């Protein structure tokens, strides 16, 4: 079998605070193949953005990777020097943040920022900078005359597109995105996501996409990682997640979002709120909110159990025979 592009193994991230260490990401493992689109979902505070920053090696104190490996194209990113990471970032992988307004420099035109990025990684001629900058603006559907614009002169949707254009200056193999559409209205969100998906297909890069929007997940991703309280609750192909969600938390997330197709159903959501990661519940971390809680759940922390091609952290799936019973009942 071909090597995955990215292999995250047991990634564990703590926030080292005066009040004590908080484990925000706890032993997360997954792989990503070239050209694959992975969605990472979960409620606010579940550790998904911290995990993403850990993968991209963009964590700043008090956040720190305390265990695990992030192997990207055969190299463990956790152990690379700042200089080595700087060399790889933009060229081999790039990151698109939630808000382009915060990520872009308000004092410089878009074109000047593209030029800085290109010059930080080589010695392109002025003509090469102009040509590549115009190309990537064209890719994301912005008129290249906007290379002269400053971030505040662009709409929110155009700023996010400009960030994506910048992320593609070197045609990296991996683009990491932290809720890139969350600040946009629904029409701009849809248009930007369609553009990202088209580019991913035509240029062949892989995507890790953090979101809390299940409709985006169903439409655009190949695989889904559901996170709860810093851990992977369920990992499966997108179609399987929507047709046959296994973890009670995944079912709760799906019951909280409306679909435009299929029969009408009542939206129920998930009672309660995610736990304080400084003091997560004993046993299964989801047990205080789980509609299927059993006595064992209060004392036995579940592992990730394989089930029908998925991995699920729930005691309902410890035995292969139990899978069938749960799935038949469900």
User: Which residues in this chain contact ligand SF4 in the complex, by CB under 6 A?
Assistant: 247-248, 284, 286-287, 290, 292-294, 297, 302, 314-316
Q: In terms of CB distance, is 237 or 293 closer to ligand SF4?
A: 293
CB of 226 to ligand SF4, least distance (A): 11
CB of 293 to ligand SF4, least distance (A): 4
CB of 252 to ligand SF4, least distance (A): 10
Q: In terms of CB distance, is 84 or 282 closer to ligand SF4?
A: 282
CB of 229 to ligand SF4, least distance (A): 11
Q: In terms of CB distance, is 163 or 284 closer to ligand SF4?
A: 284
Q: In terms of CB distance, is 119 or 268 closer to ligand SF4?
A: 268
CB of 10 to ligand SF4, least distance (A): 21
CB of 307 to ligand SF4, least distance (A): 12
Q: In terms of CB distance, is 68 or 252 closer to ligand SF4?
A: 252
Q: In terms of CB distance, is 4 or 301 closer to ligand SF4?
A: 301
The Cα 201–Cα 178 span in angstroms is 19
């Amino acid at each position: 079998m071909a090597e995955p592009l990215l292999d995250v193994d047991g990634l564990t991230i703590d926030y080292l605070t005066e009040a004590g260490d908080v484990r925000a990401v706890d032993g997360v493992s997954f792989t990503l193949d070239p050209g694959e689109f992975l969605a990472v979902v979960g409620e606010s505070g579940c550790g998904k953005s911290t995990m993403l920053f850990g993968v991209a090696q963009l964590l700043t104190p008090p956040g720190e990777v305390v265990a695990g490996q992030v192997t990207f194209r055969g190299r463990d990113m956790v152990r690379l020097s700042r200089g080595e990471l700087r060399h790889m970032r933009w060229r081999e992988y790039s990151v698109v943040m939630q808000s382009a307004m915060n990520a872009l420099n308000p004092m410089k035109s878009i074109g000047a920022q593209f030029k800085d990025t290109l010059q930080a990684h080589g010695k392109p001629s002025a003509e090469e900078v102009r040509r590549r900058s115009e190309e990537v603006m064209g890719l994301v559907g912005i008129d290249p005359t906007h290379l002269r614009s400053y971030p505040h002169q662009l709409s929110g949707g155009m700023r996010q597109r400009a960030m994506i254009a910048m992320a593609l200056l070197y045609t990296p193999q991996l683009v990491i995105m932290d809720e890139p559409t969350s600040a946009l209205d629904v029409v701009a969100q849809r248009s930007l996501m369609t553009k990202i998906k088209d580019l991913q297909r035509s240029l062949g890069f892989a995507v890790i996409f953090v979101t809390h929007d299940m409709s985006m997940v169903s439409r655009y991703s190949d695989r889904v990682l559901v996170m709860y309280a810093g851990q992977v609750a369920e990992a499966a192909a997108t179609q399987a997640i929507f047709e046959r969600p296994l973890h009670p938390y995944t079912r709760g997330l799906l019951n909280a979002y409306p679909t435009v197709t299929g029969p009408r159903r009542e939206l129920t959501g998930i009672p309660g709120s995610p736990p304080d990661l400084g003091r997560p519940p004993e046993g299964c971390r989801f047990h205080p909110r789980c509609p299927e809680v059993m006595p064992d759940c209060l004392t036995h922390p579940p592992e990730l159990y394989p089930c029908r091609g998925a991995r699920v952290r729930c005691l309902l799936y410890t035995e292969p025979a139990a899978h069938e019973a749960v799935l038949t009942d469900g």
